[in-house]
Amino acid sequence: MEPFVTHTGTAVPLRRSDVDTDQIIPSDWLKRVERTGFGKGLFAEWREDPTFVLNRPERQGATVLLAGENFGTGSSREHAVWALTDFGFKAVISSRFADIFRGNSLKGGLLPVQLPAEVVTALMDLTDADPTAEITVDLDAREVRAGAITAPFDLDDFTRWRLMEGLDDIGLTLRHEESVASFEKSRPSWKPATAVS
């Protein structure tokens, strides 16, 4: 995974709450067996409306998505994250994320930044007033900066370190393979198995 330290880019304000993963990437797109090419399906239904914010000329090339409360609710599909990153987004800022979406983002190179609702609204107002306004998401300092706004955000030390180093989660776990093997020896024998024939 590519390390994430800090990112600066223009933004798209998506003033809707409870944006579910069926909207982010409709289920038609889930039949694909690849990990790439999902950007075309991002918000596929909403993008059919030419006035939808993502279609506006001044929003082209934006890399930071500003979203309403409870972003990424619904299905566990990581395709939602792949669609956002393939489209070019590096970070999503919202006052609350659905758990599974947030976890998927942290694995998939999309930084989910949780800020108080009033700060998210202030950022939306800022980019509405000036679509060229840049927003900086600084993971090192755990801070979002834009115009006169400076807002700290929370992220645990371990995840921050992992993202800044661009480390592979599976690789990290495999360092503890011995602990896993020793745990397996202690599992009760009556625990079910699928018995592969």
Partner 1 sequence: MAKTLAEKVWDEHVVRSADGEPDLLYIDLHLIHEVTSPQAFDGLRMAGRTLRRPDLTLATEDHNVPTDLLQGPIKDPISKTQIETLRKNCAEFGVRLYPMGDASQGIVHVIGPQLGITQPGMTIVCGDSHTSTHGAFGALAFGIGTSEVEHVMATQTLSLPRPKTMAVTVEGDLPVGTTAKDLVLALIAQVGTGGGQGYVVEYRGDAITKLSMEGRMTVCNMSIEWGARAGMIAPDQTTYDYLRGRDHAPAGADWDAAVAAWDALRTDADATFDKEVVLDASTITPFVTWGTNPAQGVALSDVVPDPQALPAGNIRDAAERALVYMGLTAGTPMRDIAVDTVFLGSCTNGRMEDLRAAAAILEGRKVAEGVRMLVVPGSMLVKLQAEKEGLDKVFSDAGAEWRSAGCSMCLGMNPDTLTPGERSASTSNRNFEGRQGRGGRTHLVSPQVAAATAIVGRFAAPSDLQEL
> Are 24 and 42 in contact, with CB atoms under 8 Å apart?
yes
Q: Binding of partner 1 at residue 197 (CB under 8 A)?
A: yes
- 61: exposed, middle or buried (Cβ count in 10 Å: 0-12, 13-18, 19+): exposed
Q: CB under 8 A: which stretch of 4-12, 134-142, 144-152, 179-187 binds partner 1?
A: 179-187
Q: CB under 8 A: which stretch of 15-23, 50-58, 126-134, 141-149 binds partner 1?
A: 15-23
Q: Binding of partner 1 at residue 103 (CB under 8 A)?
A: yes
Run of H or E residues at 13: strand 11-14
Locate the DSSP E strands across 19-100.
Answer: 64-67, 91-94
Q: Binding of partner 1 at residue 35 (CB under 8 A)?
A: yes
Q: 88 is written with which tokens?
A: 């070019």
Residues at the contact surface with partner 1, assessed by CB under 8 A: 15-18, 20, 22-23, 26-28, 30-35, 45, 68-70, 73-79, 81, 96, 98-100, 103-104, 107-108, 156-158, 169-170, 172-174, 176-177, 179-180, 183-184, 187-197
